[in-house]
Amino acid sequence: MDIDYRSSALLAVDVQNDFCPGGALAIADGDAVAPVVNRLVPLFPVRVATQDWHPAGHVSFASAHPGKAPYDAAEPGADGRAATLWPDHCVQDSQGAAFHPRLDERPFNFVVRKGFRQDLDSYSAFFENDGITPTGLDGLLRGLGVDTVVLAGLAFDYCVYFSAMDARRLGYKVFVVVDATRPVDAPPGNAAHTEARMLQAGVHLVQSSEFPV
């Protein structure tokens, strides 16, 4: 695997209580990604963790849309980015928004919070769901000389997927550590669909066993 770790960043996406078993938007086996991330972290000089950080009544919550239910389709963003309505999750300063206790937070250099604008969701770690509003991550990474992004976290077919695609669009070399992610797979088949699109975009899908840890 051709990675220059000196110019690489590990991006741990949304390893938060609400996305793990027992959480408001639980992903099956989601907490199992944390130990894998912990093993990979020491390889990288730049280590970024992201958090969904929603205000109460956020536009992505089904409860904010009368007559809608969780997992219903929502209006896409201005760039046509597909959107879904979710159970209330990762509300700012709640226990659900906290990092999962199995994730060792101490080695991370930076935390990027996203989805904190009331009327704009953010799947990607790089852009809000309008595809235009930046989170600031790209500027941070470029300022640190990063040209390669290694992605892990939750969920494979949403926030990891959109982060990977945006990173490719921005010109980064991108790896997704598949065994350090888990999918929502909503609607059914979404995980396979997003995997195919990542491969078409030049994203490298790898296993943690391929890293020297």
C-beta of residue 141 within 8 angstroms of C-beta of residue 9: yes
62 φ, ψ to 5°?
-60, -30
Q: State how far the Cα of 186 lies from the Cα of 27, in Å rounded to an integer.
A: 11
User: Is 68 annotated in the active site?
Assistant: no
31, 52, 90, 114: the catalytic one is: 114
Q: State how far the Cα of 43 lies from the Cα of 180, in Å rounded to an integer.
A: 15
90, 157, 159, 185: the catalytic one is: 159
Q: State how far the Cα of 79 lies from the Cα of 67, in Å rounded to an integer.
A: 25
Among 135, 127, 179, smallest CA distance to 153 is for 179
C-beta of residue 203 within 8 angstroms of C-beta of residue 175: yes
Q: How many residues does the chain have?
A: 213
User: Is 20 annotated in the active site?
Assistant: no
User: Is 104 annotated in the active site?
Assistant: no
> Which of the residues are catalytic?
14, 114, 159
